[in-house]
Amino acid sequence: MTVPRLTGSVTAAAPTADATELLVLLPSLGTTTELWDRVVAALRPTLPAVRILRVDLPGHGASPVARDPLTIPELAEGVLRVVDEVGGGRFHVAGDSLGGVIALELAVAASDRIASLTMLASGARIGTAEGWAERAASVRASGTASLVGGSAQRWFAPGYLEREPDGPGGRALRLLVDVDDESYARCCEALGGFDRTVEATGLAVPALFVAGEHDGVTTTEAMRALAAEVPGARFVELAGSAHLPPLDRPDEVAALIAERVASTDAATGASEGDPAAPADAATRGMAVRRAVLGDAHVDAAVAAATPETAPFQDFITRYAWGEIWSRPDLSRRERSIATLASLVTGGHEAEIRMHVRAARRNGLERAEITEVILHTALYAGLPAANTALAIAREVFTEETHAEETDG
């Protein structure tokens, strides 16, 4: 077994934290730990008691080059060795693309070490052995510089690079040129030999699967199907994202990871002071609230708070979002269905618009939202459902207009 020597960097927990956990972040093929820079920045306020370890792939960033053949289990073992160097124990893991594949291997082969799994733009099998062999041969012949054009199309949603020409997407493509050619090729061949589709169906680790709306590599359909096979897994599609959600949707990714970590900890029932103790309800609630309602909505609500209304903002953050919405027995998608039905039944028109948007963020299609309202009409009455449908139509129209403007 040839285990590659990998290099990582640690972001410390808050100095006031009594006990700490570990979150490991693994990047995509062709990227470095910089992929996670903005995610880590967004995670610090919501997970102050968590240390964050980022690990570079062989020949990427700070990790040494690889000359011998590699397998995904060997890459996973390399990650475990870095984890052990920084203290060992159980840890949460999240990875994008190849990083997600390695994270899945860890969850399958070392499930006793994994507290939770988040896979972004990844799968139990990606592509074909033949396709990866062709990619490896091409890189050996022409270098990683030859991949820049194709990667720009695979990695990003249409128009992203044009909107942010000097942003992190352009830098990621420039860093791709510096990746060691042979190490990249070895990683391609490792992906070609990986298939955990059978083992994923028995996964015993709390799991979250995140797909980018415009990802043509690990598509929404493929990731949704994988999530459906994993017991208790949750699936989320990120609108406007493609194959690198940590780069183009860092705030949403940070909120999703924070919620996954916090809800896993809450389910353990660990006592305060234990290294596995859950984040407090306010921290957990703010992470979930932002993930469901969006930063713009939450920021506006917080900014509008007065000394008289601030206690109410704290109340809903702690109890609505930190307690009820954070419980693990229903997915966010299922909670959105229940919430919409309840709001229609109660005639709470002022809240329906917000939760139609939230339902879209939680993965419900427009047709599914309409179906929920139609079903609720049987029990809540036609006038209430008619009003709710009118509100939903307005939200859908706003979405369409925004999509056309972005295009």
219 and 305 belong to one structural domain: no
Residues 5-35: tens digit of each pLDDT: 999 999 999 888 877 899 999 999 999 999 9
224 and 305 belong to one structural domain: no
| 112 domain residue, yes or no | yes
Place of tokens 């695979």: 154
Give dist(CA 153, CA 277) in Å, integer: 42
Residues 278-314: tens digit of each pLDDT: 446 777 788 788 878 887 888 888 888 888 888 898 8
120 and 177 belong to one structural domain: yes
183 and 248 belong to one structural domain: yes
User: Percentage of residues in the chain with pLDDT exceeding 90?
Assistant: 65
| 342 domain residue, yes or no | yes
Output the domain CATH number for residue 169: 3.40.50.1820
Output the domain CATH number for residue 392: 1.20.1290.10
| 287 domain residue, yes or no | yes
Mark which of 268, 303, 337 sits at the end of a domain: 268
| 249 domain residue, yes or no | yes
Mark which of 247, 268, 289 sits at the end of a domain: 268
Pairing of strands 8-11, 50-55: antiparallel
118 and 171 belong to one structural domain: yes
| 274 domain residue, yes or no | no
Query: Average pLDDT by consecutive 10-residue portion of the chain (407 residues)?
Result: 91 84 97 96 90 97 96 97 93 98 96 95 97 97 96 94 89 96 98 95 91 95 93 90 95 91 63 41 78 82 83 88 81 89 91 92 88 92 91 90 68
Pairing of strands 91-96, 114-120: parallel
195 and 136 belong to one structural domain: yes
CA-wise closest residue to 236 among 216, 207, 279: 207
Number of domains in the chain: 2
33 and 171 belong to one structural domain: yes
- Residue 276 has a pLDDT of 37
| 187 domain residue, yes or no | yes
| 188 domain residue, yes or no | yes
71 and 183 belong to one structural domain: yes
- Residue 328 has a pLDDT of 67
Please give the C-alpha separations between residue 390 and each of 298, 361, 378, 383, in angstroms, as whole numbers.
Answer: 24, 19, 17, 11
Mark which of 242, 268, 294 sits at the end of a domain: 268
258 and 286 belong to one structural domain: no
| 2 domain residue, yes or no | no
Give dist(CA 354, CA 301) in Å, integer: 12
304 and 214 belong to one structural domain: no
253 and 295 belong to one structural domain: no
Please report, as a single letter, which amino acid is at residue 12.
Answer: A
- Beginning with the edge strand found earlier in the chain, give each strand of the sheet holding 234-238 in spatial order: 8-11, 50-55, 21-26, 91-96, 114-120, 207-212, 234-238
217 and 355 belong to one structural domain: no
The domain in which residue 367 lies consists of 281-406
Residues 358-371: tens digit of each pLDDT: 999 888 889 999 99
